[in-house]
Structure 1
C-alpha cells in the first residue's frame, strides 16, 4: 500500500573548508594524483570546530524550512538521522531543535540511527507516522562529521569521507505522491567489516585510554564491505521491486548512498543505468555517511532532475552489513 507523503522542502549545508585530494596525497606521502586516481574523489569538505553536527544540521534544516515556505513552529516532529551523533546524551535532534529556536516548543525530537542508512530508515518511519496521523509535518535531518574519527593509517577508510548535512520536510500527500515500497536487510555476521567501537558502553577509558582512543577511529575493510554489499544487492533489489510491483527500468532516477566511486560505478553497470538516471556527486563531496543520500537528493531537486510524478529510488548500504531502499513517487 502506497503511503501518501510528499517532500515539500529540502536543504543542505556544506562546511567551509574544502580539502582537495592533493592535500590528502601529501598527508599520506603519496604521489600527486594518487588519491583521486585510486578513490575517484577530487575534493571533500571538513567541518571546523564551530561547525558542530547540530549547527550544520540546524543550517540544513533551516534551508529546508525556507524551501518549504514554512516556519519551524509548523513542525510537530524532528528526526535526526545521523550515523554518528554529536554526543551520546541528549540526542542530536534535541540539540538541533534548540538551535532552531524551538527549545521551548515541545516539538518531539529524537534520533534514529542505522549508520549510513539512517536517513532512509527515518523517512520510512516518518511515512508510517504521518500515514497513521501521529504527525503532520516532520523534519528529517542528517548531519555528519566523519573527519573527526578518521584513521589515516588506513587510507581507504579515511580518504573517501567528507562532512556535511542535509534535510527534508515531509507531510501527508493529496496529489498521488508517496512511498510505494521500502525494504531493509541486515547481515550481522559482517559486523566487524565497518566499526567504530568507542563512544558507547563497550570501551571504557579508565581501563585502557590508549586502546579507547585507537578504537575511537573508524575501522573499515573496504574490499570486504564492497564485496558483501555487491553480492547481496541484486537479490535485494529484486525483492524491493517485487514489493513495488515495478521493473527497474520504470525507475526515473536512482539516488544512491555515495559510498565510494567504485561502488557507484559497479551499481550503475549492474543495473544498466544511464548517467541521467543516477545521482553521483561522490567526486565533489565524498562519502558523507547518512547525509550522503539526502544531500544527493537535494542536489537532484535543485538541479531540476526530479519532477512531480517521477519514481525515485533511494538506496544504499551501511555498516552491519545492511542494505536499505525506498521507492517513492515524488
Structure 2
C-alpha cells in the first residue's frame, strides 16, 4: 500500500502525467462518449465480450473523475494514473473502433507512472519495445527497403513539394535511403534508450527524428505520436524543474499565474507587498523581471508546448495557422 501513498512525484513526471491526460481528454473523447451513449461495442477479446455494458459506463465515469481530480490537484496522482491507464486499456481492448497503437501506448505509460518508484527503467523498457516493435514491422515489409513506401507516402499521401520538386518520378533512390534510415534510426533508438548514460542523445535523436518528419510534411505527419513521444522523453529526462515561489498580496493574481503550471511546482507565498516577487532557489526577482522569470520558466514553456500541439490536433484554426506557418517555410525550398 505504500506505493499508492506516495504522492511526491518529481515535477517532470507530473507534467508528463497531465500532458498524457490532456491527450486522452481532447484527442480521444470517444472513450467517454461511446462508453456512456449506449453505442454497441465490437469486442475482439472474447473474455471482455461477457462484461456487462454498465461496467464500461461506470469505468468511463471513473476515468473522467480521475482526470479531473489530477487537474484539480486532488488525490493520489500515482493511484489516479494507474486507474486511468487500466480503464483506458479495458475500454480500447473491448472496442475495435476505439483501439489504436498510440492510445494503447498512452495507457501503458499511465500505468507505469502508477508504479514509478524513482527509477526510469520501466519507462525505458516500454519506449524500447515501441521502437524495436516498429522497426521489426518495417524490416519484414519489402516496400520499406525498395523505396515504394516512402515514394507513395511523400507524393500521394502528403504531397511533399520539396520531395516532388527534386526527386524524379521514377527514381526511388532517395525514398530507399529514407526507408532504410528510418529502420536503422528506430533500431538505434530502441537500443540507446535503455542506456541511462545516453539519455540526452536519445532525446535529441528522437526529437530530431519525429520533428524532422513533421517539418518535411508541414506538420501533418503523426503529430499525435510526436506529442506522445515528447511526454515519454520527459519521463526519462530527469529534468530538474525548480520550485517557483510567487509572492504577491493578491491570491487571485497568484492563482492566475499558477494556472498554466502542469508540474504543481509554482507555489504562492503570502506577503503584504503590493509588488510581484518571484523566488527560485536562493535568488529573488521583483516587478517585470519577476514576471519574465515566470513566463520563461520550464513550467510555462512546457504548458505552451503541449497546449499548442493539442490545439493543432483538434484543429483550432488560430493555433493551427501559427504552427503551419512555421512548418510551411520548408515548402518553399
Instruction: Confirm or deny a common fold (TM above 0.5).
Output: no
Bigger Rg over Cα: 2
Instruction: Report which of the two has the higher share of strand.
Output: 1
TM-score (norm. length: structure 1): 0.27
Q: Higher relative contact order by CA 8 Å / sep ≥ 6: 1 or 2?
A: 1
TM-score (norm. length: structure 2): 0.27
